[in-house]
Structures are given as C-alpha cells and as structure tokens.
Amino acid sequence: MLSLHNPFPTTPKPSLNLNSSTPPFSTTFKPHFPNTLKPPKPHKPHFTTRTQSLLQYNRKPQLAGETPRVVVITSGKGGVGKTTTTANVGLSLARLGFSVVAIDADVGLRNLDLLLGLENRVNYTVVEVLNGDCRLDQALVRDKRWSNFELLCISKPRSKLPIGFGGKALVWLVDALKSRQEGSPDFIIIDCPAGIDAGFITAITPANEAVLVTTPDITSLRDADRVTGLLECDGIRDIKMIVNRVRTDMIKGEDMMSVLDVQEMLGLSLLGVIPEDSEVIRSTNRGYPLVLNKPPTLAGLAFEQAAWRLVEQDSMKAVMMEEEPKKRGFFSFFGG
Amino acid sequence: MASIWTLQFHPISLQPSIWVSKHQIHLNFEKLRPEFRFKSSSSKQLSRKFVLGANSGSPSDPDEPAVKTQTITVAVKDQLSKLHGTINSFPPLVFVMNRYGGSNLAIGLCIAITLLVIAVRVYAARKLRHRTPGSVADLVRRGQLRSDRRGISRPLKYEDPFNNPMVKVGKSNSTVEMCGKVYRLAPVTLTEEEQAIHQKRRSRAYQWKRPTVFLKEGESVPADVDPDTIRWIPANHPFATTASDIDEDLAQNNVYQKHGVPFRIKAEHEAMQRKLEALQSEQKLNNLMIDPRNAKDFERPFKEHPRSREQVEQSSFNNQTSDSMSPTSDPAPISVESNSSSEETQKL
C-alpha cells in the first residue's frame, strides 16, 4: 500500500536496517524531485473540475514515459478487480490533472460504465464508430465529476462485435485519440476482459505497458503467471502488478499469502497493494468510485498511491505487513 | 464517614493494596488471637471463682448484695471482654482503617475524583456523539469541513498521497499509520536478477504468438494468412458476427473521422435524397392536381367526421416519422414521399 520513494537506484539486496541513515529507507516520503510544486510539463488547458474531493494534493507526480501511455489492466482470472482498478486508478489520474481515456474492452460483459456511474450516458460505442454511425468524439463519454476523464465502451451489452480485424480497431482508436484536436490524452487505460481469448488479444494489442491485477490466492496467481507470459511474448515488457483484496489479519494468521510471497512467485514489481475493504462494494453499488469517497477509505488511498506510482513509473519499496496495536497515549485510559 | 469511604474504595481501586492489607490483617489477627484467648480464659476463671465463692457462702449471707454487684460487674466485664474480643477478631478492616486512616482518606478522595472525571468525560463524549446531525460541528466531526479552515473557499490541499493527515509514516520508517491503523512495513526483496530469472522461466514455459486474424469455426483459411496467427472463435462468441458489411479501410476511416456527418448517416441521407428527387420528378404532374386528402383540410372545421380526422392524424404521424428519419430532407415532404423514404431507410 505504501511505497517508500527511493531516489536511489535499487540496491541488489535491500537491507532490513530501517533505522540506518542511509538508503533505501531513510529518505522516504519526501519529495525527491526538484520544483515539485511546478507542473512537470507545460500546463495543458484542462477543464475545470466541478466536484472537489476531500484529499487534494499540492504536489503533482512527474509524468514519466511518452504520452499517451497505453496501459492495459489485465488479470487472466475473472473477479479479481480489473474493472475496479481501472475505474479508481483512472479517476485518480484524472484528479492528479492528467487527461485520461478509459476503454472498456470487455465486449460481452462491460461493467466499467456502471462502476463510474455513467451507464445512462453511453449512447454510442466503438461498434457504431466503426460502422460510421457516429464519430469517435461522440462515442467518448466525459465524466461530469472530473472532466478530463473520458470513457469509451467497445460495444453495448448483448450486442455482438463485427470485428474481423482483431486488435486493429483498438490501434486505430489509439491513433485517432493521439491526433485529436484537443490534444493527445496522457493515459489510455484499457480494461481487459477475463480469459486469454479474442477479447484479451484485442485489448492488449495497442498497449505498451500492463498492470496485472491479482489476489493472493493460487488460482489467481497461476492465471496471472500465464497472462504475464503471454504479455511478455507479445513484447510488453513493462508489467507491474497490483495485489488486490489483501487481508493483513489473515496474513498474520498465516491463512493468506503475504504480498512478498506473491511477489516471489510472480517476480513482478509492485504497483500497489489494495486491502480488502467493504467500501469497495458500496462504492460499486453507488456508481461512485472509491477514490472520490469522503472521508477517504483505506482502499481508496491505496489506489491513489498506485496511480501516483503509475505516473512516475515507480514501484513499491516497502509493503504493509500486519496491523500493529496502536500506541495509546497516557491519558487514553481516561477516555482520551 | 471518610474512613468508611476508604474501606469501600479500597477493594475497587487498588488490588495490590488489598492484598497487602489482607496480609496485614492476617498477621494482626494471629497476633490478636492469643491475647483474646488469654483474656477469655481469664474471664472464665474469674467467673468460675466467683461461682465457687457464691456457692460456698450461705444463702442468708449479709454480703449478698455485694456479691450480686460483684457478679454483675464480673458479668459486665465478661461481656465487655467478649465484645472487645469480637471487635478484635473483626479487626482486619478496622485495624487497617485505624492504622492508615489519614493517608487513605487522601488516596480515596483522589480516586473518587478521578472516577468522577472519567464518568463525566465518557458521558460528555457520548452526548457529543449522539448530537443531532446536520450542525456545522457535525460536519466538522465527519470530516466534511475543517474546523480551522471555516470560511476559506480554496479547496484543502495536502502534500501527496504518501504524506497527509490520513497517511503518516512512523519516525523509524518501519511503521505507517493509515486511516487510524498502524501497519508494520517490510521492505521489498525482489531484485533485478530474480525478475530476469522469472522472465526466462516464463519465456520457456509459454511460447505464444499473438493471433492477428479471427476466423469463425468452419470458415476456410485465406491463402495469404499464416495459420499460426489465426484465432478460431466459436460461433456464439461476441466476436463471431464477423459478417460485417464494412471493409477494413472504411472502418479505419470512420475511426479517424474528426468532423462532419458520420459516414453511414451521410450515405443514408444521400440515398434518401436521390430517392426523393427521383420521386419528385416522377410526381410533378400529379402534384399539379389537387390532392384529395389535402382538399379535406379545407373542409369546414365545425363539421367533424371521425373518419377524416383519423386520416389527418395518420398523415401528421407520417410527417413526424419522416422528419425524424430524415432531418436534412426537404422541409415540405408530402405524405406519399415520406412513406417511400421510410421504406428506403428500412431497406438500408
């Protein structure tokens, strides 16, 4: 859940000496790039935000890599939280000031619009764009809460996609978004369907980096490993993982694999660790992403941190293990 | 009164002191017991002596009243000693009370005040918690409003998601507090070498080439397609309706189109336009004559015919549908034309 920003290159064997005054843990949590209060790149004319969430940040993360960053969020196994991650990371990026286009590439079973609360505003999809029934800009649904966030659905539920061209259509979409009038988006996030069949192939085609969502159980890990192998075969080298639905109490009781165990099995760098949180279901039901919750929740904060790392192409240097009893003050006995 | 209080609060507040006092009590009790026994035995001896003395004396003894008084006094003495004994046998608390009376009073008072303060605080906190919602104080308590920033319209901004009021790192960087819970941190031990080893393992385990062509099961393989790049999809797959009437280039152009009317809408409009023009040129002569249906519009309004009204409604409905189907068509299409245009769109 927490990345200790390490400005120094990764040492081959990170030591556990947390008290030492040398890296990797001493210089954490301080802005380590100069001029942090300045925007990292020439300020783009972005749209005014109507809703302000509780946590706003003075500092902006420094965008690394070439724009648009085309990120596919995949897992292999279903139900691990790909769509939730897409919605929350996407909106976090939008809140950080980046323009984001989220593409729901789940052809038969799209749900991203529900999570974002935009289901009533999806009139046109990519199928209509391909058929010539509408233009691409008409199919993009702009979120009213954060207007630099846009949603694009591949097809309507229960409709079949006449897509004999495979992932080519998505490549054209990315090209068209790059060259659009208001400027190329900073991030194109593709929500990949479960499985490794045609939908998966279509979704990964335009991507140049991937976020693998997994839960700390062996079924999910096996699928994740396979998907990672396929992504690497396809030439996507920048793969990071998000471990979702982590329960620190179960890890402590050795009933659940720890995040470090998961990492040892998959050998992927960590983008984030999302704790199990009942608020996730509540926010899904409301169609209001977790990161906009007031007051912020544990999982929402973890998503925000993951989004920050995604922007900076950073990875976690330390992970939260178990809950420690909070040290109570001297006067806590007296109801304090 | 105060001493009684002391006695009451002792067992509540200080467990060790109870233990200590019990010890003391036991010791005292043991010390006292022999004394009491001695005392009681002496009194028994006394009374026995007295009884003997009384029996030895004659009933008509002049000293009788004196003896009586003696008996009474001895009996009183006996009772007194008994009472004294009972009091002394009772002593644990009384004794302690007598011994530490002054200091206990102070301690007891302190504890009583402390308990009172705790009770009042808990009561106040509970009352505050159950205060009716909707007040500004309630908003502040729920985190919607900052008490120190009342009236400032600028949104509240924190440094970053790693360092804000919700996320605080411990001084030694080994713990982090998130949303009020403290977690222990452990460093990530994955190294570049390990990552490379995993990549190698996967590259050996999964040999894969991304398919670029989707074919429905049962279709024949095109001549210029590498069979390795074909993905066979079942007939009930969402991708299976590959019988698309648009070709690849056209679809690509549609995606890249930025301005103007979308391709299909434009094509439909053009087709409709052509059809309309053809119909108009055909029906030019017919239009010169008075249309019987149009003539009905000039009928006197007060003379209502149910049949004619239906016809009028029908014609107006046709006009609406033609409007919705062809927004750019001629502004005054006649009903016959509109019918034909709707047929046209259905065909398309």
Q: B78 burial class (0-12, 13-18, 19+ CB within 10 angstroms)?
A: middle
pLDDT in the model for residue A49: 39
Among chain B residues, CA nearest to A181: B258
Contacts of A334 in chain B (CB under 8 A): 114, 117-118, 121
* pLDDT at position A150 over 70: yes
- DSSP at A57: B
Per the CB < 8 Å rule, is B264 touching A133?
yes
B298 confidence band (pLDDT: 50, 70, 90):
low
Put simply, the answer to whether A132 touches B262 (Cβ < 8 Å) is: yes
d(CA A126, CA A129): 5
| Residues on chain B touching A321 (C-beta within 8 angstroms) | 183-186
On the CB side of B218, CA atoms within 13 Å amount to 5
B contacts of A324 (beta carbons < 8 Å): 175, 182-184
d(CA A241, CA A268): 6
B198·A57 Cβ contact <8 A: no
Cβ atoms < 10 Å from Cβ of B205:
10
What pLDDT, in 10s, does the model give residues A75-104? 989 999 999 999 999 999 998 999 999 999
Which pLDDT value is given to residue A17?
A: 38
**Closest residue of B to A323, CA-based?**
B183
Residues from chain B that touch A12, judged by Cβ atoms under 8 A, are 191-193
Please indicate whether, in this complex, the C-beta atoms of A298 and B178 are within 8 angstroms of each other: yes
Chain A residues touching residue B149 (CB < 8 angstroms) = none
Phi and psi, residue B182, nearest 5°: -100, 130
Chain B environment of A201 (Cβ under 8 Å): 210-211, 231
Nearest to B121 among A10, A305, A335 (CB): A335
ipTM exceeding cut-off 0.90 for this assembly: no
Q: Decide if B181 and A155 are in contact by the 8 Å CB cutoff.
A: no
For A84-122, the DSSP string reads HHHHHHHHHHHHTT--EEEEE--SSS--HHHHHT-GGG-
To 10 degrees, the CA torsion angle through A141, A144, A145, A148? Answer: 60
Cβ contact (<8 Å) for A166 and B214? yes
Alpha helix (H) residue ranges in chain B: 2-13, 15-56, 64-89, 92-99, 101-129, 136-142, 192-205, 248-256, 263-282, 284-288, 292-297, 306-325, 335-347
Radius of gyration of chain B (CA): 55
> Chain A closest CA to B215's CA: distance in Å?
7
Rounded Cα–Cα distance for residues B22 and B26 (Å): 6
Q: How distant is the Cα of B283 from the closest Cα of chain A, in angstroms?
A: 32
Whether A233 sits inside 8 A of B157 (CB atoms) is no
pLDDT at A106: 84
Q: With beta carbons under 8 A apart, name residues in chain A contacting B173.
A: 4, 18-19, 25-26, 28-29, 318
Cβ separation of B162 and A5 shorter than 8 Å? yes
Question: B102 or B190: whose pLDDT is higher?
Answer: B190
* pLDDT score, position B170: 81
The DSSP letter of residue A181 is T
Q: Chain A residue closest to B114 (CA)? A: A334
Q: What type of residue is B320?
A: Q
**Alpha-carbon distance A115 to nearest alpha carbon in chain B (angstroms):** 22
Residues of B in contact with A3 (CB under 8 A): 162
> Inter-chain contact A172–B252, Cβ cutoff 8 Å?
yes
Q: How many residues does chain A have?
A: 336
pLDDT above 50 (res B342)? no
Cβ distance of A164 and B214 shorter than 8 Å: yes
What pLDDT is stored for residue B46 in this prediction? Answer: 43
Give the mean pLDDT of chain A.
81
Determine whether the interchain pair A59/B160 forms a contact, defined as Cβ–Cβ distance below 8 Å. Answer: yes
- A130·B246 Cβ contact <8 A: yes
With beta carbons less than 8 A apart as the criterion, state whether A88 and A303 touch.
yes
Which of the residues B210, B231, B264 would you substitute to probe the A interface, choosing the one with the greatest number of A C-beta atoms within 10 Å? B210
Q: How far is A103 from chain B (nearest CA, A)?
A: 14
Q: At what angle do helices B192-205 and A218-233 cross, to 10 degrees?
A: 80
Nearest to B239 among A58, A161, A234 (CB): A161
Contact A326 B181 (CB under 8 A): yes
Are A19 and B174 an interchain contact pair (Cβ–Cβ within 8 Å)? yes
Most confident residue range from A82-91, A108-117, A315-324, B186-195: A82-91
Predicted confidence (pLDDT) at residue A108 exceeds the cutoff of 50: yes
Closest chain B CA to residue A265: B198
Give A-chain residues touching B160 at CB under 8 angstroms. Answer: 31, 57-59, 61, 308
pLDDT over 90 (residue A211): yes
Q: What is the pLDDT of residue B103?
A: 83
- Cis peptide, bond prior to residue A68, ω within 30 of zero: yes
Per the CB < 8 Å rule, is A198 touching B239?
yes
B236 → chain A, closest CA residue: A160
What is the average pLDDT value for chain B, to the nearest integer? 66
DSSP H or E segment with residue A309? helix A298-312
pLDDT > 70? residue B167? yes
pLDDT in tens, A17-63: 333 333 333 333 333 433 333 344 444 444 433 344 556 677 888 89
Query: What average pLDDT does this structure show over B171-179?
Result: 83
Q: How far is A161 from chain B (nearest CA, A)?
A: 5
* The predicted structure's pLDDT at residue B162: 84
> Using the beta-carbon criterion (under 8 Å), do A320 and B184 form an inter-chain contact?
yes
Would you say A240 and A270 are in contact if contact means Cβ atoms under 8 Å apart? yes
Instruction: State the nearest Cα–Cα gap between B171 and chain A, in angstroms.
Output: 9
| pLDDT of B7 over the 60 cut | no
- β-pairing verdict for A318-324 and A269-275: unpaired
Please state the φ and ψ torsions of residue A175, each to the nearest 5 degrees: -60, -45
- B2-13 vs B92-99: helix crossing angle, rounded to 10: 110
Query: Across the A/B interface, how many CB contacts are shorter than 8 Å?
Result: 289
CB < 8 Å to B167, chain A: 2, 301
How many angstroms separate the CA of residue B158 from the nearest CA in chain A? 5
Tokens of B191: 């190294």
pLDDT at A87: 95
Residue scoring higher pLDDT (A286 or B134): A286
Q: Which residue has the higher pLDDT, A286 or B151?
A: A286
Q: Give the distance from residue A303's alpha carbon to the nearest chain B alpha carbon, in angstroms.
A: 10
A84: Cβ contacts below 8 Å, ≥ 6 apart: A115, A244, A280, A284, A290
Of residues B36 and A171, more confidence is placed in A171
* Region B287-303 average pLDDT: 57
Segment B227-235 shows an average pLDDT of 78
* Distance in angstroms (rounded) separating the CA atoms of residues B18 and B1: 20
| CB atoms B238 and A108 under 8 Å | yes
